[in-house]
Copies of this chain bind each other. A is one copy, B any other.
Amino acid sequence: MQAREMVEQYPAVTLDSDAFESGRLIADQRLAGLVVTDESGRPRYVLGSSQVVSFMVPTYVQADPALAGVINERLADEAAARLSGTPVRDVLPEAPAELAVVDADATVIELAAAMARTDRPLAAVVDGKDLLGVVTASRLLELAFTGERG
């Protein structure tokens, strides 16, 4: 089994996409994360869902998590809505993960090693310069542990 046989189509957003719409995309489709491309469509970052969740966390709370407790419930409930109008580039985590990229002929182990090393539940699969799609950790586990291809 090679990566080319495992790829899934996956929605991508750009650095200029609206952060609220991007969060809603992953929420609606219950995606494992988000692929962020640059203007030319080349993948730049792969964000896991825990990083997309961090879009909602104000900078001062990220610096001092204890401050999360001072935000009341009503304001917290509006945290997602307040992202409307903000581009993704402004809410990216400070050190977005290294992009996991594998070749089309990568094996299960090569894919697993790339995900383990970058600690992200997504890897991009390329054939030369072309992006074929992504493989999610869920898909890889399904193929490896159950043998199911659906």
What is the minimal beta-carbon distance from A3 to any residue of chain B, in angstroms? Answer: 11
Give Cα A69 to B111, complex, Å: 10
What is the minimal beta-carbon distance from A88 to any residue of chain B, in angstroms? Answer: 14
Measured as residues with beta carbon below 8 angstroms from the partner, the interface class of chain A is 35 or more
Main secondary structure of the interface of A (DSSP, over half): helix
Q: Taking the complex as formed, is A132 at the interface, i.e. its CB lies under 8 A from any CB of chain B?
A: no
Give Cα A32 to B23, complex, Å: 17
The residue that A112 contacts in the complex, of B57, B72, B108, B142, with Cβ under 8 A, is B57
- Which residues of A are in contact with B by a Cβ distance under 8 Å? 1-2, 20, 23-24, 26-28, 30, 32, 48-54, 56-58, 61-62, 65, 68-69, 71-73, 75-77, 79-80, 93, 107-121, 136-138, 140-142, 144-146
